[in-house]
Amino acid sequence: MLTRKTVNTIFLLGLVFSLVISIFKPIPWPAFALLMASWFLLTLGGSFFIRWNYHMTSLNSNNEINKPQVAITFDDGPHPEYTPKALSLLEKYNAKATFFCIGKNIEKHPEQFKEIIRRGHSVGNHTFSHANTFGFFGTEKVMEELTLTNKLVEGISGLKMALYRPAFGVTNPSIARAVKKLGLKTIGWNVRSLDTTFRNEDQVLKRITSRTQNGAIILLHDTSAKSIAVLERLLVFLEERKLQSVTVDQMFQIRAYE
């Protein structure tokens, strides 16, 4: 995939080349507009599609794994009603998962958060506020959010989280710098369930199962009844195909905590 550095270099070289050529032969302005539009669209896409690894490198799947494993992940919890239900289902089907939790929700529901850990699942940083404007935060503000969440978790559990998932999956230079400074490892996905959209339970499940294979990272949310219903059917699907859901750190053989 093209990274931001590569695209910017190509764009600048193209711009310089065009300007030099224009000295000898006029270049229509639409050509410059097309160059600018291409750069903008690539950068925009790279910000919203975490799998591109455009602004920063993330672990989105493990294509080299030789075991029948996938990693179910949950974003946006803990939730007082749905997180316990997710935990019960995971236990019922002998599955492990990774929960990327929002700091303010951990603060509201510390017992649910501690129960996630107690049951042997992994937890990661999903920002403190999960603000809709998070993509516009500067580096210092991003670091403040991530540090606040990590300190909160350390105070509750004694664990120093090393895994991070961007809010909304959005990445940019500010987030990349903050994550690098804090030494966190970014976790993405390659199977996005879209369980928070208008799609019904059957549509969400079909979307997941049609894309799931060894080494997949599946994105779900432990925040709604629909997601919990999908989870049980997904766990049955995995059991039938002898695929084991493990934590992200187990799949990649990395550390979830410092």
Contact at 8 Å (CB) between 223 and 77?
Answer: yes
Q: Which residues pair with 100 in a beta bridge?
A: 75, 124
Could you give phi then psi for residue 173, rounded to 5 degrees? -60, -40
* Residue 75 annotated in active site: yes
Selecting among 75, 76, 195, 222, the annotated active-site residue is: 75
Pairing label, strands 69-75, 217-221: parallel
Residue position matching structure tokens 């966190």: 184
Q: Write out the chain in H/E/C secondary structure.
A: CCCHHHHHHHHHHHHHHHHHHHHHCCCCHHHHHHHHHHHHHHHHHHHHCHHHCCCCCEECECCCCCCCEEEEEEECCCCCCHHHHHHHHHHHCCCCEEEEECHHHHHHCHHHHHHHHHCCCEEEECCCCCCCCHHHCCHHHHHHHHHHHHHHHHHHHCCCECEECCHHHCCCHHHHHHHHHHCCEEECCCEECCCCCCCCHHHHHHHHHCCCCCCEEEEEECCCHHHHHHHHHHHHHHHHCCCEECCHHHHHCCCCEC
Selecting among 55, 109, 121, 221, the annotated active-site residue is: 221
CA-wise closest residue to 163 among 53, 257, 56, 51 = 257
Give catalytic residues, as residue numbers: 75, 221
